[in-house]
Structure 1
């Protein structure tokens, strides 16, 4: 019995690693730079970096900014033996606007209501792109890179911009609370990214439309949420 349970565990671990490798390669093939993350063991993340005491999700490589790669062969090698969590470097192919769920849902709904134009049968001008969500309820909107936060959002601690020097956990990475998942998958929007300021405009309009009675306690508040990148 012990061996059957152990064999089943090993089999599931191999399947998980193969799935992570396959999806990491797919991201790389579309020009998204991938970073291997520490492996989830129980409720903490473990890497091989000497002296690393970080328990939360983090890159497995000390010089991850230089190592981040969109080379499918390199990505395949990283996942050859370890079920690394899957991280995506931001500020390269895309930036990320991260916000709480109560804002993310409203921003996505607003973007989906805006009709997009078509040119020769090809959809253009879409007001939303890939959107991922963490099990803790943080929504991550992938947008075109390079634009800073609008002044209205710069001091809003509910919103985090991930640019150069930052990263996000990407689906299907598993965190202690559960997996990161796509709300809007890259395939659904044909890997297109919306303009960052267009998404920020929707966010600002959403914030302005929310009355204090319908907002979380202390809104707009000063929640001390650190930004990994500006």
Structure 2
């Protein structure tokens, strides 16, 4: 079962590459990271890691859909949420970065981490992405919680 999920995830991610074969080769034999263009199959919203990790935890609530692919960049201290493409790119806010058409995203294969990039939730190959509404709500709630906790934590 897991091998089938990884294979589907690999195919789904590699489909965003200009050359899917070269992408898969790079994952298996190169540095393990491929640059994929956002905007065709998915966009990526990145947020500071504390905010993103708390929001992801909030998205695991009963009754909500299973969260979509989520990537962490430990070097940059950011969490990336894969969303449906949005031509308006309407995500704005302090610390938010939105990668849409014309932007490139570094990703490891779904089956392992590469250097500083690691999947918190790897793509399953079914095309499931984060629904924007629940993600926005979780980010707002996480932001509020962090604002309350900041004075207690000395930040």
- TM-score > 0.5, shorter chain as reference: yes
Runs (4+) of structure 1 exceeding 6 A deviation are none
**In 1, are the aligned partners of 2:43 and 2:82 still within 8 Å (CA)?**
yes
Q: Relative contact order (C-alpha < 8 Å, sep 6+): which is higher?
A: 2
Q: Residue deviations 1:78-128, cap 9 Å, x none?
A: 75xx82631121111001110111111111111001424xxxxxxxxx152
RMSD of the alignment, in Å? 3.0
What is the aligned partner in structure 1 of residue 98 from structure 2?
161
What TM-score do the two structures reach when normalised by structure 2? 0.72
Query: Rg: which structure is higher?
Result: 1
Which residue does 2:89 correspond to in 1?
Answer: 148
Question: Aligned residue pairs: how many?
Answer: 139
Q: What is the CA–CA distance in structure 2 between the aligned matches of 1:132 and 1:215, rounded to whole Å? A: 26
Distance change >3 Å, CA 97–CA 107, structure 1 → 2? same
State the alpha-carbon separation in 1 of the partners of residues 7 and 35 from structure 2: 9
Matched ranges for 1:169-208 at <5 A: 169-172=106-109, 174=114, 178-187=115-124, 190-208=126-144
Which segments of 5 or more consecutive residues in structure 2 lack a partner in the other structure? 1-5
Q: Report the CA distance between 1:204 and its aligned residue.
A: 1.6
The whole-number CA distance in structure 1 between the counterparts of 2:7 and 2:23 is 7
**How far apart, CA to CA, are the structure 2 residues paired with 1:166 and 1:25?**
24
TM-score (norm 1): 0.51
Question: Which one of the candidate residues 15, 28, 33 is aligned to 2:16?
Answer: 33
**Residues 110 and 165 of structure 1: CA distance in aligned 2, closer, same or farther (over 3 Å):** same
Distance 2:63 2:43 in 1: 23
Kept after mapping to 2: 8 A contact 1:171/1:179: no
